[in-house]
Amino acid sequence: MAFELVKRPMPSRLFAALSPLIAFTLTLLAGALLFQLQGVDPISGLYTYFIEPLTETWSLHELAIKAAPLILIAVGLALCYLSNNWNIGAEGQFILGGIVGSALPVLFPAFANSATLPTMLALGALGGACFALIPAYLKNRFNTNEILTSLMLVYVAQLLLDWLVRGPWRDPAGFGFPQTRAFGDFALLPAINDAAGRAHWGVAFAVIAALALWWLLRSTRTGFEIRVVGASPRAGAFAGFSEKRLTLFVFAVSGGLAGLAGIIEVSGTIGQLQPAISPGYGFTAIIVAFLGRLNPLGIVAAGTVLALTYLGGEAAQMSLGLSDKAVRVFQGLLLFFVLATDTLIHYQLRRSGDKHGA
């Protein structure tokens, strides 16, 4: 091999800041290559994907609508990943939040007053949190691998939603379409500025959640425990931190935020339940969390970038005839490059045989 890794004495601050940018640049280059292969001019392809959606007010609103759930989910996941809890079932927690929150307008449409929406949001967060506590409890009590259990529950949630909207919750006046009744006005999350575009108050929730978790990680004892346990479980144990309590906490928070994102998506963007309520937000949020360096403020930026890929994908499909499947490739590549460049934070690359510092 032509090079070897040498551990840095201290993590490099320079590369901690640069690596997401390098990764994004590499993704752009790979994207250009992908466009070229599909017979599209790379420059106009990249322009359509990453610049055009930023040039109009309405599309900026769409960008915010797509970034909000990604940020809400990813800041919660960051807590999990920082403390070595691998919750990868956010997609399921998102769906369950959507289901539980929608129970109110679907089952009790007559309950329509100013308390409807807050109750729905609370129920959604609660539903997501409870669903996330299943893998957390199993991990604590039975030592079960949380990666596998949280992921299996995604399929369970998807099937549950499918059953509800085709079965008991189907709109009786809906001509047999697999969807619930359309929500009444009191059950819909309003737009922030109706005249300018569709962006709803969920966007504000996302920003508040990011700020709150940033503060939690930075300035509270719980945040300190999360970072210590993540860096060294043994050190955490010696300090008397309860790893199990922390596991329950981070799963509950991330599940709650994912559930909140789910009900926000249903009540703010879709307006009813249907067989699919998420274009893979729960999985894309994993990429967002890593691209944002597991830092809530970084995640706000990363969530916006990933939202841009969704939007750019739609635009490129319409105006260039590019496949919308390319979006998932972009997102996957981005995570690959982020992880690869992250190595430079902790290691230096040296030519093999160079004995300096060895």
108 binds another protein (CB under 8 A): no
Phi-psi region of 100 (alpha: psi -120 to 50; beta: other; left: phi over 0): alpha
CB of residue 21 vs another protein: minimum separation in angstroms?
A: 18
Which of 47, 111, 186, 347 lies at the binding interface for another protein (CB under 8 A)?
347
36 binds another protein (CB under 8 A): no
* Helical segments of 143-242, H only: 146-166, 202-219, 221-231, 233-238
Interface characters, 64-103, with another protein (x: CB under 8 A) = -----------------x----x-x---------------
Angstrom distance (rounded) from CA 183 to CA 166? 17
Which of 143, 175, 176, 195 lies at the binding interface for another protein (CB under 8 A)?
143
The answer to whether 4 and 354 are in contact (CB under 8 A) is no
Q: State the virtual CA torsion across 185, 186, 187, 192 in degrees, nearest 10.
A: 80
* Helical segments of 57-190, H only: 57-82, 90-107, 116-142, 146-166
For residue 6, what are the β-bridge partners?
348
Residue-by-residue DSSP string for 25-79: HHHHHHHHHHHHHTT--HHHHHIIIIIGGGSSHHHHHHHHHHHHHHHHHHHHHHH
Given the rule CB under 8 A, which of 50-58, 117-125, 153-161, 195-203 is the region that contacts another protein?
Answer: 153-161
Angstrom distance (rounded) from CA 308 to CA 320? 17
153 vs 266 by CB, closer to another protein: 153
Angstrom distance (rounded) from CA 107 to CA 178? 16
Residues numbered 165 to 194 that lie near another protein (CB under 8 A) are 166-167
Residues numbered 4 to 33 that lie near another protein (CB under 8 A) are 4-5, 7
The answer to whether 201 and 268 are in contact (CB under 8 A) is yes
The footprint of another protein on this chain (CB under 8 A) covers a number of residues equal to 48
Residue 192, SS3?
A: coil
CB of residue 94 vs another protein: minimum separation in angstroms?
A: 16
CB of residue 70 vs another protein: minimum separation in angstroms?
A: 14
147 binds another protein (CB under 8 A): yes
152 binds another protein (CB under 8 A): yes
User: Quick one: which of 140, 143, 103, 335 has its CA closest to 251?
Assistant: 140
243 binds another protein (CB under 8 A): no
CB of residue 281 vs another protein: minimum separation in angstroms?
A: 13
358 binds another protein (CB under 8 A): yes
30 vs 191 by CB, closer to another protein: 30
The set of residues, in sequence order, having a beta carbon less than 8 Å from that of 292 and lying 6+ positions away, is 20, 74, 78, 298, 299, 300, 301, 302, 303
Residues numbered 302 to 341 that lie near another protein (CB under 8 A) are 323, 325-333, 335-336, 339-340
Which of 283, 285, 293, 316 lies at the binding interface for another protein (CB under 8 A)?
283
224 vs 347 by CB, closer to another protein: 347
Residue-by-residue DSSP string for 290-313: HHTTT-HHHHHHHHHHHHHHHHHH
Which of 9, 39, 113, 142 lies at the binding interface for another protein (CB under 8 A)?
142
Residue-by-residue DSSP string for 255-272: HHHHHHHHHHIIIIIISS
Which of 162, 171, 243, 314 lies at the binding interface for another protein (CB under 8 A)?
162
CB of residue 284 vs another protein: minimum separation in angstroms?
A: 8
Summarize as ranges the residues that interact with another protein (CB under 8 A).
1, 4-5, 7, 81, 86, 88, 138, 142-145, 147-149, 151-153, 155-156, 159-160, 162-163, 166-167, 283, 286-287, 290, 323, 325-333, 335-336, 339-340, 342-343, 347, 358
